[in-house]
Amino acid sequence: MKKMLIAAMAASFVSGMAAHAQQGPVVEAQPVDAAAQALPVNTLVLVTPAEEITSKKMKEGTQRRFLVVEDVIYGGKVIIPRGSEVQATVTWRTGKGIVGKSAKFELSFDWVRVGSTNWRLRGQHRQEGKGNTAGALLGSAIITGKSATMTPGQVVNVFTAEPIPFR
């Protein structure tokens, strides 16, 4: 009698395992906290100047406005929409000079606005004047450098410096 009971229990266990194997593994869904979802730090964001930026009359500490070029998508959702405002600060500048020295400036990217919140960015960009222009002064040739200029459409890579939560 004992052997029959053990055999019946074993058969029941084996048939239960076979049914489980046919259904595949059971994964128990864990509750997801939507607020815990976030765009990771170091996510690439492509930006372009909102208007022409030139080294003429530029000072260190001046803010410049950029716009996001493409939607930043994560988890199938647009987290940073195209056209979102980005702020950069001029951190370094040199003027153009004689003997072909072109002007240069460097920008440090501060934040991107998503909705009504500004989220920190990281990244820098250095722009240099292109080529030289020649002019004449009192009969002798003088070569001067060009101003550094960025125009809308010029794309710069920047990165998120903090997670940006989404729902």
Q: What is the pLDDT of residue 112?
A: 98
**Domain boundaries in the chain?**
37-165
Buried b (16+ CB within 10 A) or exposed e, 32-71: eeeeebbbeeebebebbbeeebebeebeeeeebebbbbee
pTM (predicted TM-score) = 0.71
95/8: higher pLDDT? 95
Beta strands 77-80; 85-94: pairing state: unpaired
Fold of 37-165: Lipocalin (2.40.128)
pLDDT tens readout for residues 110-155: 999 999 999 999 999 999 987 654 444 444 455 666 889 999 999 9
* Rounded Cα distance, 153 and 144, in Å: 27
Question: Token digits for 114?
Answer: 């998503």
